[in-house]
């Protein structure tokens, strides 16, 4: 079993819809959680970064962490065609903070 | 602007040839990483380094080598022993001095293909 599981998609939604992207993990020591967006032929760019449980909002993006369920989510409101990309979740633990574990990524397509 | 520069953007390797991918960062980050990304797959860690002149193998180090002679630079050599080198290679860096759990920052990758 992988430490971090992420549905690869592809996920296709109409413009303006709310998108929900999710990851589950098995290591209860994970405390730092990240979401990256990766456009084709580019490197991943950091979208959201959260510590421990709770929600964090940044514009149209909300990151949610539920440590009791070992489940993290990224919500995109009012989705735009420019949001079409692959989204990678990532996480690390306090004792191994420099080693980040990535999900395999979800490919998202927003239809105009 | 601070960032991570990977070069070249595209690279072709002949049979039996070693090739070196460059990664330079001006973020003053301590740790640097190399990942391999295959189509439809996540990132697989090749090597990482937390300090100059020291580095550790990741999950798929066979057929690769690295050096870390300067804090800013972490070149990756894909040797002839790597039989399936065609992939997208990503370099990342991370600050260890500004608190635990810092996120990684990435370059824009090098696409390596076999001729």
Q: What pLDDT, in 10s, does the model give residues A37-87?
A: 999 989 999 999 998 888 999 999 999 999 999 999 999 999 999 999 999
Q: Tell me whether residues B108 and A104 touch, CB distance under 8 A.
A: no
Q: What is the pLDDT of residue A82?
A: 96
Closest by alpha carbon to B90, among B39, B31, B44, B50? B44
Say if CB B4 and CB B93 are below 8 A apart: yes
Classify the C-alpha dihedral A49-A52-A57-A63 as positive or negative. Answer: positive
The minimal CB distance from B42 to the residues A34, A45, A105 is found for: A105
Q: Which carries the bigger pLDDT value, residue B69 or residue B94? A: B69
Give B21's pLDDT tier (boundaries 50, 70, 90). Answer: very high
Say if CB A107 and CB B56 are below 8 A apart: no
Q: What is the pLDDT of residue A23?
A: 97
Residue of B nearest to A87 (CA): B42
* B chain contacts of residue A98, beta-carbon cutoff 8 Å: 31, 48, 50, 94, 96
Q: What is the pLDDT of residue B99?
A: 66
Give B86's pLDDT tier (boundaries 50, 70, 90). Answer: very high
How many beta-carbon contacts under 8 Å exist across A and B?
Answer: 57
Mean pLDDT value across chain B: 92
C-alpha–C-alpha distance, residues B112 and B26, integer Å? 24
Residue of A nearest to B111 (CA): A41
Closest by alpha carbon to B43, among A101, A39, A30? A101
Asked if the peptide bond before residue A10 counts as cis, ω within 30 degrees of 0, the response is: yes
C-alpha–C-alpha distance, residues A93 and B56, integer Å? 18
Helix (H) or strand (E) holding B89: strand B87-94
Give B1's pLDDT tier (boundaries 50, 70, 90). Answer: low
Residue with token string 């180090």: B61
Average pLDDT of the segment spanning B88-104: 83
Q: Tell me whether residues B109 and A43 touch, CB distance under 8 A.
A: yes
Alpha-carbon A94 to chain mean position = 19
Task: Please enumerate in sequence order all residues whose Cβ is within 8 A of that of B98, keeping only pairs 6 or more positions apart, or say none.
Answer: none
By CB neighbour count within 10 A (0-12 exposed, 13-18 middle, 19+ buried), where does A49 fall? middle
C-alpha–C-alpha distance, residues A28 and A16, integer Å? 35
- Residue A52: strand, helix, or coil: coil
Q: What is the pLDDT of residue B101?
A: 67
Average pLDDT of the segment spanning A11-38: 95
Mean pLDDT value across chain A: 93
């Amino acid at each position: 079993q992988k430490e971090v599981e992420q549905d690869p998609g592809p996920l296709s939604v109409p413009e303006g819809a709310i998108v929900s992207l999710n990851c589950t993990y098995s290591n209860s020591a994970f405390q730092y959680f990240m979401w990256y967006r990766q456009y084709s032929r580019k490197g991943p760019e950091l979208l959201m970064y959260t510590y421990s449980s709770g929600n964090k909002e940044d514009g149209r993006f909300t990151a949610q962490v539920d440590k009791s369920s070992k489940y993290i989510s990224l919500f995109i409101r009012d989705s735009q065609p420019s949001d079409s990309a692959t989204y990678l979740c990532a996480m690390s633990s306090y004792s191994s903070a420099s080693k980040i574990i990535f999900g395999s990524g979800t490919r998202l397509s927003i239809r105009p | 602007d601070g960032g991570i520069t990977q070069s070249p953007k595209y690279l072709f390797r002949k049979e039996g040839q070693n090739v070196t991918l460059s990664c330079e960062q001006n973020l003053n980050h301590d740790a640097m990483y190399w990942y391999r990304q295959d189509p439809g797959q996540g990132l697989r860690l090749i090597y990482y380094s937390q300090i100059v002149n020291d580095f550790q193998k990741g999950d798929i180090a066979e057929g690769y080598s690295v050096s870390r002679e300067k804090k800013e630079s972490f070149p990756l050599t894909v040797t002839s022993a790597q039989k399936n080198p065609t992939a997208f290679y990503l370099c990342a860096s991370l600050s260890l001095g500004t608190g635990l759990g810092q996120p990684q920052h990435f370059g824009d990758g090098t696409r390596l293909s076999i001729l």
